[in-house]
Each structure stands twice: as C-alpha cells, then as structure tokens.
C-alpha cells in the first residue's frame, strides 16, 4: 500500500496548509467574494509559509518541493476559497519559470519580492485571437509601452524559447488548477453530507432517501478517482516522465469536470438554498466552473491526450 500513501513529510505539509486555510481563509472567503476584496494580506501570509515559491529551488529562496506537494497545498487552500488558491497557483507557475529559465540577473531582480508575494505574478494567455490556440498569440510583451525598449537582460530563456517555456509551465499549472477543483469539490461534498443529514422532507432526513445516498456515493467515487489520477500525474511531472504532459492534461480534465459536476449536484441537494449566499455552495459553483477553461480548456486537454496517443 505504501506507493498509494502520502509520506510523513507530505502529511505534515498537507496539515500545515489545512490549518492555514481554517484560520486565515475559510472564515473570511464569503466576505471577500461579496465585497470583491482581493486578500493581499492573506496571500502574503501564505507566502510566509513558503507558498509563494513552492517549487522554486532552495538555492533561489524557495522551498523546493515537488508537484504533488504543491497539489496538496492548493487542494487544502481551495477547501476555503478556490479563487484565492488559484491566484497562488498561477503565481507559483510564473515564479518557477523565472527560477528554472531566468538568468542570474533576472532571478536576483525579481524572485526575492515574488517569494514573499510583495510582487504578484500573472500569466497572460488569452487575447481576442488566441486562448485555446496558444501558438496564435500576437502580443509580444505582458504590458504595451510607447517607445520603451525591454533590455535583453530581462528576457527569460534564450530568444525563441518563450513558447516552449510557457507550455512547460502549464503542466504544473494544470495540476494546480485540478487540485483547486478537488479542494472545492471536497468542501461541497462535505457540506452536502451535513445538509442532507439535517434537512427533513416528509418527516425524514433526506440523507435517508436512497436517491440522495446514490448521489453522494457517486460524488465521492468520482472525487477520489480524479484525486488519485492527479496525484499520479503530479509525480510524473516531478520526475519529468516522458508522458508527463499527457497525464497532466488527463488529470486536469478529469479533476475540473468532476469538480464542477460534484458541486452542481451538491447545489441540487441543497435545493433552493443552494443559490443563497447564506450557504457556500453557490460561490463554489461559480469558482469551479471556470476551471474547465483555465490553463487550457478541457476540449484542448482532449486534443493533447489524443495527439499523444496517436503519436505512438
């Protein structure tokens, strides 16, 4: 069984992320959503735990963990707020690319403030003529300046390598977004179990109805299947396995489709209350729905998988 179990170190990382979420994210996430607050202080508190540079090397000031460790952290934080976890995921993807491909000058200039998340990174992939077709990007820089020259010293990687580097970053980004869906789906499944035990119809808790039991059983089965495929894919990306990109695409597709479906059924089990902001389900429904679009649409994930299969 050992190959299917988390190590002691991974369990400690997971517990640390869960405790941070319980203390610093879960009690405040509904207010952030309602009042459109971007929680900078909370994000920087996460960085104090190393969550701003999860797989940035220790030599560069990061905590140098693997992609499974990162997925555990993202999943735990998404239990409180998937969108906050996704912000941190994208920041980590950009930080890793600078650490992995940037010159010493670029790393020294940007990484210290990125590790603390005083400087928050983004990843631009969508424009009017591009998105799913990433190779069709026409923008040649993240911001348009007038008569400003960007020095070669600020370039990440060699000339012409930008697209390859950007695509490599997406393998990890897809795992993290998938992990965010897992965390959000787990939260909604837990909420649905609790609600159906308390909610009565015709004098009976709706958890006693076989239809409810079947729905919950399917939600749990699909969640666990998606979780373990994602963990395997994370191990492959860490090991730089030849099929890492295919597994990352499969895991992202399954985790985000399953997560969205699980949250949808959790909302159904809550009935009309599922739409009210008094309950967290409607917020998670909105947050997880976008995951099938982020980091490459799930239709593009299928293209990646099928191309790799047909190439064999």
Which residues are catalytic, by number? 295
Contact residues for 245 (Cβ-Cβ < 8 A; gap 6+): 171, 304, 308
Query: Phi first, then psi: what are they for 7, rounded to 5°?
Result: -75, 170
Residue showing tokens 């099928």: 306
* Tokens of residue 24, six digits: 């610093």
Between CA 216 and CA 251 the distance in angstroms is 22
3-state secondary structure of 290: helix
- Cα 102 to chain centroid distance, Å, stands at 24
Question: What secondary structure does DSSP assign to 105-136, as a single string?
Answer: HHHHHHHHHHHTTSS-------BTTBSSSGGG
- Using DSSP bridges, classify how beta strands 204-205 and 200-201 pair: parallel, antiparallel or unpaired: antiparallel
CA–CA separation, 256 and 292 (whole Å): 5
């Amino acid at each position: 069984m050992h190959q299917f179990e988390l190590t002691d170190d991974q369990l400690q990382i997971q517990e640390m992320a869960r405790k941070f979420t319980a203390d610093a994210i879960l009690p405040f996430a509904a207010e952030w959503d309602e009042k459109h607050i971007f929680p900078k202080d909370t994000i920087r508190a996460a960085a104090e735990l190393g969550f701003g540079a999860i797989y940035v090397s220790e030599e560069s000031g990061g905590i140098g963990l693997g992609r499974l460790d990162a997925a555990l952290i993202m999943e735990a934080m998404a239990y409180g707020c998937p969108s906050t976890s996704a912000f941190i995921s994208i920041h980590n993807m950009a930080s890793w690319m600078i650490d992995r491909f940037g010159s010493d000058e670029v790393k020294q200039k940007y990484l210290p403030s990125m590790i603390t998340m005083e400087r928050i990174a983004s990843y631009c992939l969508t424009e009017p003529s591009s998105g799913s077709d990433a190779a069709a990007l026409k923008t040649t820089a993240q911001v348009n300046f007038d008569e400003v020259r960007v020095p070669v010293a600020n370039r990440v990687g060699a000339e012409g390598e930008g697209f390859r580097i950007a695509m490599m970053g997406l393998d990890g980004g897809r795992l993290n977004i998938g992990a965010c869906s897992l965390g959000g789906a787990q939260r909604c499944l837990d909420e649905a179990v609790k609600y159906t035990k308390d909610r009565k119809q015709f004098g009976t808790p709706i958890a006693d109805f076989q239809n409810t039991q079947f729905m919950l059983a399917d939600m749990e089965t699909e969640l666990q299947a998606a979780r373990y495929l994602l963990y395997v894919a994370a191990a492959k990306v860490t090991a730089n396995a030849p099929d890492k990109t295919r597994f990352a695409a499969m895991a992202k597709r399954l985790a985000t489709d399953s997560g969205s479906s699980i949250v949808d059924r959790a909302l159904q089990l809550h009935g009309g209350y599922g739409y009210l902001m008094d309950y967290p389900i409607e917020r998670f429904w909105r947050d997880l729905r976008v995951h099938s679009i982020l980091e490459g649409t799930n239709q593009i994930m299928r293209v990646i998988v099928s191309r790799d299969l047909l190439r064999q």
